[in-house]
Structure 1
Amino acid sequence: MTWTLQDAKNKFSAVVDAALAGTPQQVSRRGKPAVVVLSAEDYKYLLADAVESRESFADHLLAFPGPEVERAQVKPRDVDL
């Protein structure tokens, strides 16, 4: 269900009860989706799943689909100190 922000404020207990019953509650602000209220157990499940399936940043970079990029062969400029 989608709640307006004002309705969610006025009936926050109902929003929380529905989320605890297993139905995430979407809250909109000015007609646009803003947040989703879900149970702590559902959040922990989503977080654990995301962490488990996440690759390292190095693996992400190494999997970049593209040809090898040659580095420019430039000489450093002279700097007076």
Structure 2
Amino acid sequence: MSSWQVQEAKQRFSEVVRRAVAEGPQVVTRHGEEVAVVMDIAEYHRLRGETPDFAQFLLADPDWDDDIELPRNKDLPRELDFG
């Protein structure tokens, strides 16, 4: 984790955000004391438990567009010569 003084973080906020997304949480300090963390929003949601796992996603019945009917080729598969 990188550490930024408040004044530097204010001046270079775009870089702090870019590095939070690319490298992970960025710690902001005031007078040498850690006071805040800038982190990627996906990590924040994961830590808060707001991101459903795959099973929850499937159980939530996502819109699969079930009303679409795809035409099927009813011909038998072609014969292959393996010899």
Q: Which runs of 5+ in 1 are unaligned?
A: 50-81
User: Shift in Å at residue 32 of structure 1?
Assistant: 0.4
- In structure 1, C-alpha distance between the alignment counterparts of 2:34 and 2:4, rounded to whole Å: 9
Structure exhibiting the larger radius of gyration computed from Cα positions: 2
Partner of residue 41, structure 1: 42
- In structure 2, C-alpha distance between the alignment counterparts of 1:18 and 1:46, rounded to whole Å: 19
Give RMSD over aligned pairs.
Answer: 1.3
**What is the DSSP-based 3-state SS (H/G/I as helix, E as strand, rest coil) of the residue aligned with 2:34?**
strand
- In structure 2, C-alpha distance between the alignment counterparts of 1:15 and 1:22, rounded to whole Å: 10
In the TM superposition, 1:1-81 aligns within 5 A as 1-48=2-49
TM-score (ref. length: structure 1): 0.57
Identity in percent? 39
Query: Structure 1 stretches (4+) deviating beyond 4 angstroms?
Result: none
TM-score (ref. length: structure 2): 0.56
